[in-house]
Amino acid sequence: MSADLAKVLPMNARSKPKIVAKGIQKSFGNVLAMEDVTLSIQEREFVAIIGPSGCGKSTFLYLIAGFEKPSGGELTINGNAITGPGPDRGVVFQEFVLFPWLTVLRNITLGLDIQGVKREEAEARALKWIRLTGLSGFENAYPSTLSGGMKQRVAIARALTYDPEVLLLDEPFGALDVQTKNYMIRDLQDLWQEANRTIVMITHSVSEAVHMADRVVVLSSRPSRVIADVRIDVPHPRDRRNPTMHRYEDEITAILSAEVDKAMSLERQIR
């Protein structure tokens, strides 16, 4: 269904592959988490990854970030094999991972502090994201005094402030209410369109994925493979009431539910 639309809107026709995964395998001990993930992410593309819980989405993100090594397959960024973490790839973790000994402001400027950016400049750059994430007034608070949603916003602001080429987001809106989430989604999209970053975002929400991403990649249950790769050919800014988007949502939801049903029935047979 998306083939004809792709001709109308060749969104990333001129861009080149940024991250390429070929037959990625990952096992932890004797647990095989990823079986064969093959995926190419273009420069300046916004890719959403969706899949059943425990299928290896976070693991895939950690492989791209260079925190973990694949057990098999090839993983490259800009054509070079990924050997370790680097400041070109910023990560927002599913569990936030803030530093309790740093104030909100210092948590957010951390990336720039490490890179030796002058304190005034770092703070000026942080303030923009503090404002956009609605954290103004909490600059000097310590993370232990923040709510879960606020912690998540700090984590997002921290990754955005040091401006990496690739943003790796692991369920970045999980702890936010719908209203705050919508604001953050809009800001993230503005950023992505202005600065042309490559974004890989894991999410559990099909509508979030369809609303934000160029492409939605669906992973199978563990051990994971790519079972669908859907290009969302709707120009930005997107309107939630657009019927085309609803069709995409329905399509992806159907694929995902079938996968979850299959996994659950298998799981229960074993028991």
Partner 1 sequence: MTASRTAGVPRQKGGPSASPSQIVAFVTFMLPIGALLLFWEGVVRFGLADATILPAPSMIVVRAWELLNPAKAERSLLLVHIGVSLWRALAAFVLACLVAIPLGFVLGLSTGTYRALSPLLSLLLPLPAVAWTPIFLVAFGQGDLTIIGVCFLGAFFPVLYSTIQGVRGIGVHAIWVVQSMGAGPLDLFRRVLLPGALPALISGLKLGMAHSWRTLVAAEMLAALSYGLGYMIFAARSYMDVSTMFVGIVCLAVIGLLIEHVIFGTLEKMTVARWHSSGKVRGTR
If one asks whether residue 140 binds partner 1 (CB under 8 A), the answer comes out as: yes
Between residues 155 and 256, which has the closer beta carbon with respect to partner 1? 155
Q: In 3-state terms, what secondary structure has residue 20?
A: strand
Instruction: Compute how many residues bind ligand ATP; rule: CB under 6 A.
Output: 12
Q: What is the DSSP letter of 18?
A: E
Least distance (Å) between residue 138 CB and ligand ATP = 27
Q: In 3-state terms, what secondary structure has residue 261?
A: helix
If one asks whether residue 93 binds partner 1 (CB under 8 A), the answer comes out as: yes
User: CB under 6 A: which stretch of 26-34, 85-93, 184-192, 210-218 binds ligand ATP?
Assistant: 26-34
Q: Which residue has the tokens 């593309």?
A: 45
In the sheet with 224-231, reading across from the earlier edge strand, the strands are 80-81, 72-77, 17-28, 31-42, 224-231, 215-219, 46-50, 198-202, 166-170, 89-92
User: CB under 6 A: which stretch of 55-63, 106-114, 132-140, 236-244 binds ligand ATP?
Assistant: 55-63
Least distance (Å) between residue 38 CB and partner 1 = 24
User: Would strands 80-81 and 31-42 be described as parallel, antiparallel, or unpaired?
Assistant: unpaired
Q: Report what 174 binds from ligand ATP, partner 1, Mg ion, none; CB cut-off 5-8 Å by kind.
A: none
Q: What is the DSSP letter of 15?
A: -
Q: Report what 173 binds from Mg ion, ligand ATP, partner 1, none; CB cut-off 5-8 Å by kind.
A: none
Please tell me whether the peptide bond between 223 and the residue prior to it is cis, using omega within 30 degrees of 0: yes
If one asks whether residue 59 binds ligand ATP (CB under 6 A), the answer comes out as: yes
Report the residue from 30, 80, 145, 179 that binds partner 1 according to the rule CB under 8 A: 145
Show the site string, 44-83: x = touches Mg ion by CB under 5 A, - = not.
--------------x-------------------------
Q: Report what 86 binds from ligand ATP, Mg ion, partner 1, none; CB cut-off 5-8 Å by kind.
A: partner 1
Q: Report what 111 binds from ligand ATP, partner 1, Mg ion, none; CB cut-off 5-8 Å by kind.
A: partner 1
Cα 76 versus chain centre, distance: 18
Measure the CA–CA gap between 146 and 239, rounded to whole angstroms: 33
Measure the CA–CA gap between 231 and 139, rounded to whole angstroms: 39
Q: Which of residues 78-137 bind Mg ion (CB under 5 A)?
A: 94
For 181-206, give the DSSP string: HHHHHHHHHHHHHHH--EEEEE-S-H
Name the site residues for Mg ion (rule: CB under 5 A).
Answer: 58, 94
Name the site residues for ligand ATP (rule: CB under 6 A).
Answer: 28, 31, 33, 53-59, 94, 222
